[in-house]
Structure 1
Amino acid sequence: MSLPRICVSTNRRFLMTESGEPFFWLGDTAWELFHRLSLPEAEHYLNARRQQGFNLIQAVALAELDGLHTPNAQGHVPLLGDDPTRPNEFYFRHVDAIIRMASDKGLYIGLLPTWGDKVHARLWGIGPVIFNAGNARIYGRFLGERYRNDTNIIWILGGDRPAHGYEEVWAAMAQGITEGSGFKPFFTYHPMGGTSSSAVLHDADWLDMNMLQSGHCLMDAPNWEMIRADYERTPTKPALDGEPNYEHHPIDPYLRPWKPEYGRFTDYDVRKQAYRAVFAGACGHTYGSHSVWQMWSSRYAPTTFPSLPWDEALYGPGAQQLVHLKNLILAHPYFTRIPAPDLLPDVAPIPLPVDQEDRINPVRAAHPVATRDSEGTYGLVYFPMAGQSLRVDLRVLRGEVRSAWFDPRSGATHPIGMHSQGIVTFVSPIGGPDWVLVLKAEQP
């Protein structure tokens, strides 16, 4: 099955197919997909994510967890002698099969050529560093030639590393992929936690979309403010959170020794990050499960305290709920959607940067975010708390407004009533805890 290629929309805010259809990026994080899963396991994984409504899978060719030296499920390492100019044909046949299996299931692959520790020695990871600008271009050309006809690939450079000081290497890899492809494909960049690709690469001519990583240290990390900052940059580029808090992930196991009583991120935490980022202007969102990204099972040593095997974690409630966000956004006019702070006159932005030691903050936890279309035909307001009272300015919408509560856990809608123009106070239902207020203007 050949999928239409993905490109940037005409207004540079969103993604669309070649034929102009809206594409809402609903990604899953499967960094170790090519490295740790057999083909039957990969098919089981892809089937589950397709059924849950995901449309894109983020995976890495040269994986993080000793991806150069520990063989894949077929018994092959990716490179001969750790040399990027000598790829192992047998390893990449396994990658080929999974990419084409995904395409047959209607899924795109956000393909990282390598994890960042193979480029950037500092910080963490076992590497080893094997790339320079020369061999990055050769390796990129190999990948571009190999996958030039695989229309379901979106290229993601980086891999949890800052780009500063290594811009030449990443630019060379992008150039090689472009040369091998025979055309300029879609590129983004996966940065380290708490940052966005825009910090260093926003003006890079090869970068089509900014990706940020709000990460796993803070409860309610203000990814909506990071999206807002990227939304306001020029030149205009789409943006999304490509690595928010993962379901089942320990809360902040990096800045202090983690204990079980510190807790793990839940489906509620996942929903808050997703709705607030998208309502702030993101062109989509990526979900992650801590066990699934590393495809953890008893065959492998655990990384940072996974709690479930990957094939059980695959069915976490958060993974089954985010399709409702995608469906909600696609049910309304798409390319005219804008952030709508004007719907919430009493809500002030949260200043950036945020102190990484401020792990739990009630102001961030309760922060609402709104979106609407530029024509004033609809508005959506995310209420993170049950029983939360917010004044909503309906004057930015057209005429009388019909309201309803949307349940982000089930996708069900519960009508409220009609409202004249003005500032109206809404209180979210006690069940929940979180809700979306749906406002539809009755055209005058």
Structure 2
Amino acid sequence: MRERGLFSNSERLASIAEPVLSRDTCSMSIQRRAGAHRICRTRKRSKIRDDKAISQVRRGWTVSKRFALYVRRDKGDGILHPEPKISHLRLLRCAALAVFGGFAMAIHGAQVERWSIHEISLFSRENYGNPYRDVVVSAVFTGPDGVKITREAFWCGGNGWKVRFAPTAAGKWIWRTVCSNPRDSGLHARTGDLICVEHAGCNPIYLHGFPRIANDRRHFAYNDGTPFFWLGDTHWQMPDTEMVNECNHPEHAGRTCAFGGQFQHLLSDRSQKGFNVYQTYPSATAGHWWTAKYTLVDPRRFNEVFDLQMNRLASEGFVIALGVGHFNSSLSIPQEDLCRWARYLVARYGAHPVVWITCQEMNAPEEMAGKPFNRLSVWKAVAETISACDGYKHPHSAHQWVVDASTRPLGREPWHTWFALQGGHRNSGLTPQSRYQGYYEFVPARPMIEAEAMYEMVDCGGVNSTDDARRAAWKAMLCGCAGYTYGAAGVWALKLDDSDERWKEYNHAIKSWCEGMALPGSAQMTVLRNFFIDLEWTNLTPRFQDPSWSEWVDPERCVLATAGNRLYVAYFYGSTSRGALRKMDPSTAYRARWFNPRTGEYLAEIRPEVNPANGTWAIPEKPDGNDWTLVVGMISGGSGRARSP
């Protein structure tokens, strides 16, 4: 059927998310007044009219001068009841919130920006004992050139389901739903269409598309091929702990947080510093996700917290590296229920800019101290479920335990497309070059991300210092990683204030997330990002102590990557930088400079020109005992795009 609605093609309104109107599950249905009798035949509902024009809610979005609004509320008994008291002001506020949230209503001919989220609301005509488990609904979207994307619907409370879809190409898209219960005319064989237009703003995801594996299989790129430099921040269990309506940062003590909440405050800081990935997962065992443990979800926290967080991250241009739980959940949640949980999360957030990490530490040992510790087979089934339900085929990995490429290996699975490595913390030491080399040489090649190493001021076998955090990042990048995920005490796992004892054995070195947010390592990640982007980092190849490229006095702590023999980048975090570069072009002059990874400043040139006799140049001692980066690039001649600043 064609979606009936109040608005013509030029009169569009964003859908209103369920939590906007109340903390109970509710839904809104806007219909043509002439067709309202069709909708209201089965149940009388309250009608609210507003004869005033509401225009220019956002440029290009207008609301008809006369419309009828029906509001239905689920009070927990499975029945939708009238909600007659909604003021015009509240209605306008809800409409504005929905519009600025970036969601388009499921109306025939609605215009949706490319790669942004379009939400379709469906309402069942039959009752289900367990709507989370007893019925499956999906929609097939057909776009330009016949491209098809299947998206599953998710139950959002009462008799409501939603489908979220992000169009990947400009033009007309048509959709049709399929329900496992074909007798339910509210969910089965529903049809509609939309018009996808190009993004008019500056959100990099909406401009360039979802991240994918780059053609060189070593890096990530946006869908249009634009390189994507991964700079992540760790927020384990963000949907469980981070607050969207409260903030206790001392800078606004006694006053309302200008950002809206602790989550938004922290996100603003990370955005300003150039981070573009949030690495997180919900705790699948937390009670607030469930009405009946592991068999029936409670949509309220999704509606009130998780959705807001995911939508805000997408609107800020962030990619979400999303898992579905911690590895030890496999011991307490039956495989069937854990797979259904994963399926629900894919349905709910698979149209967001996500990459999958399956869970935290997926290949942890099966036993520890003689007791069950993990069930890897369960997590592989979960990963297969994620892959089967993901209509976009987002990059998919598994956050790993601290292991080399040959220990409980992952990578041969059909769903696995990149490595989410864990170097570990003080109890593991910095990842040796040989371990990175093992993953880099994996066949077929795939990107590596150092997804957990030396979280700043976290105590794991000793408190990781700022120097530890910085060194781990630079070493990972010059050992071939496509980006880096940073972590900070009080942020990686939220510490609300000094009395918060969650994860206290790890977070005791700081007082709260406010202090963790301001640790100097996060600003030094900005230095790292800017350095590599300026150097056209996708041309670099790690050399892993290959004697044909270099010779070092301290080979493990001297890390080299090159772009052919045109550009050499070496990082020194030991006591000496003594050694030599090789394979340089003896017919070409090079420029050599020291770069300070703590401040982002270059020192003066080591000398006006470096002329490598016989293709070899002896490296002078670094400026002081701190870590330093040496950049040596051709001044003229040679070939290729690599250069030195």
TM-score after normalising by structure 2: 0.58
Preserved CA contact (<8 Å) 1:223 1:277? no
Q: Deviations over 1:95-131 (max 9, x none)?
A: 1110111112221111111111101x4xxxxxxx104
Q: Which residue of 1 is the match for residue 165 of structure 2?
A: none
- 1:195 Cα deviation after fit: 4.9
* 1:412 corresponding residue in structure 2: 601
Corresponding residue to 2:529 among 326, 342, 356: 326
Match of 2:619 among 426, 431, 434: 426
Determine the structure 1 residue equivalent to 2:225: 20
Alignment match, 1:42: 263
Q: Residue 56 of structure 1 corresponds to which residue in structure 2?
A: 277
Match status 1:97 vs 2:290: no
| Residue identity (%) | 24
Name the counterpart of 2:378.
169
1:154 matches 2:355: yes
> What is the identity, as a one-letter code, of the residue corresponding to 2:219?
F
Partner of 2:67: none
- The aligned counterpart of 1:138 is 340
CA contact (8 A) 1:141 1:178 kept: no
Q: Quote how far apart the aligned CAs of 1:344 are.
A: 5.3
Cα offset, 1:394, TM superposition: 5.4
Whether the 8 Å CA contact 1:400–1:419 is kept in 2: the answer is yes
Cα pair 1:196 1:211 within 8 Å, conserved: no
Deviates more, 1:314-323 or 1:332-341: 332-341
Match for residue 118 of structure 1 among 322, 329, 337 = 329
1:327 positional shift: 1.6
Aligned-partner SS, 1:346: strand
String of CA shifts for 1:336-375, please: whole Å, max 9, x gaps: 3211245753249xxxxxxxxxxxxxx68x611011113x
Alpha carbons 1:377, 1:397 under 8 Å: kept: no
In the superposition, relative to structure 1, how do residues 62 and 196 fare at CA in structure 2: closer, same or farther (>3 Å)?
Answer: farther
Partner of 2:412: 203
- The answer as to 2:448 corresponding to 1:243 is no
* Structure 2 counterparts to residues 255-294 of structure 1, below 5 A: 264-294=463-493
Contact persistence 1:386–1:428 (CA under 8 A): no
The alpha-carbon deviation at position 396 of structure 1 amounts to 6.3
Q: Distance in 2 between matches of 1:307 and 1:164?
A: 28
Residues 223 and 276, structure 1, Cα contact 8 Å, conserved in 2:
no
Match for 1:252: what amino acid? Answer: G
Q: Secondary structure of the equivalent of 2:606?
A: strand
Supply the AA of the counterpart residue of 2:310. Answer: I
Q: How far, CA to CA, are the matches of 1:164 and 1:438 in structure 2? A: 41
Deviations along 1:205-263, one digit per CA (max 9) or x if unpaired, are 1011112211123474224332211001111111121110111022515xxxxxxxxxx
Aligned pairs (5 A) from 1:381-392: 381-385=570-574, 388-392=577-581
Distance 1:385 1:186, change over 3 A: same
Query: Aligned partners of 2:449, 2:434: CA distance in 1, in Å?
Result: 12
Contact 1:399 1:443 in 2 (8 A): yes
Mapped partners of 1:62, 1:87: distance in 2: 13
In structure 2, what residue type is equivalent to 1:300?
D
For 1:157 and 1:117, the matched residues in 2 are separated by 13
Partner of 1:395: 584
Structure with greater contact order relative to length (CA < 8 Å, sep ≥ 6): 1
| Counterpart residue number, 1:339 | 542
Higher alpha-carbon deviation: 425-434 or 5-14: 425-434
1:405 corresponds to which letter in structure 2? W
The answer to whether the 8 Å contact 2:558/2:573 transfers is yes
Q: Which amino acid aligns with 1:382?
A: Y
Structure 1 residues 401 and 172, CA, compared in 2 at 3 Å: closer, same or farther? same
One-letter identity of the residue aligned with 1:16: A
Q: Judge which range, 235-244 or 427-436, deviates more.
A: 427-436
Structure 2 residue 495 is the aligned partner of structure 1 residue 312: no
Query: Post-superposition shift, 1:181?
Result: 3.2
1:32-88, CA deviations, whole angstroms, 9 ceiling, x for partnerless residues?
A: 32111111111011111111211111111126xxx513xxxxxxx1123331x4222
1:171/1:275 CA distance change after superposition, 3 Å: same
Q: 1:136, 1:176 within 8 Å by CA — same for their partners in 2?
A: no
Asked if 1 retains the 8 angstrom alpha-carbon contact of 2:355 and 2:394, the reply is yes
Deviates more, 1:96-105 or 1:429-438: 429-438
**Are the structure 2 counterparts of residues 442 and 233 from structure 1 closer, same or farther at C-alpha, using a change threshold of 3 Å?**
same
Equivalence for 2:561:
371
- Counterparts in 2 of 1:396 and 1:143: CA distance versus 1, 3 Å: farther
Amino acid at match of 1:148: G
Contact 1:144 1:179 in 2 (8 A): no
* Alpha-carbon spacing, 1:344–1:385, altered in 2? closer, same or farther (3 Å): farther
Q: Which moved more, 1:154-163 or 1:24-33?
A: 154-163
Say which SS state the counterpart of residue 436 (structure 1) adopts: strand
The CA RMSD measured in Å over matched residues stands at: 2.5
CA deviation after TM superposition for structure 1 residue 167, in Å: 4.6
Q: Distance in 1 between matches of 2:488 and 2:403?
A: 18
How far residue 274 of structure 1 moved from its aligned partner, in angstroms, is 0.9
In the superposition, the TM-score normalised over structure 1's length comes to 0.82
Indicate whether 1:252 and 2:461 are aligned.
yes
In the superposition, relative to structure 1, how do residues 115 and 286 fare at CA in structure 2: closer, same or farther (>3 Å)? same
What do residues 298-323 of structure 1 show as CA deviations (whole Å, max 9, x unaligned)?
Answer: 45314214222111111111111012
- Give me the whole-angstrom Cα distance separating, in 2, the residues matched to 1:403 and 1:420: 10
Aligned: 1:441 with 2:634: yes
State the distance in 1 between where 2:429 and 2:586 align. 29
Amino acid at match of 2:501: A
8 Å contact 1:406–1:412 — kept in the other structure?
yes
**Contact 1:141–1:179 (CA<8 Å) still a contact in 2?**
no
Letter of the 2:597 partner, please give it: P
Cα 1:54–1:176 change in 2 (3 A) is same
The structural deviation recorded for 1:387 is: 5.3
For 2:229 and 2:432, locate their aligned partners in 1 and report how far apart those are by CA, in whole Å. Answer: 18
Quote the offset at 1:272 in angstroms: 1.1
Q: Which has the higher strand share?
A: 2
Shift of the 369–131 alpha-carbon distance from structure 1 to 2, 3 Å rule, reads farther
After superposition, the Cα gap between the structure-2 partners of 1:206 and 1:146, relative to the gap in structure 1 and judged at 3 Å, is same
Aligned pair count?
397
Contact 1:387 1:427 in 2 (8 A): no
- 1:107 aligned residue: 318
Give the CA deviation at 1:398.
Answer: 7.9
Q: Report the counterpart of residue 261 of structure 1 in structure 2.
A: none
- Comparing 278-287 with 1-10, greater Cα deviation is found at 1-10
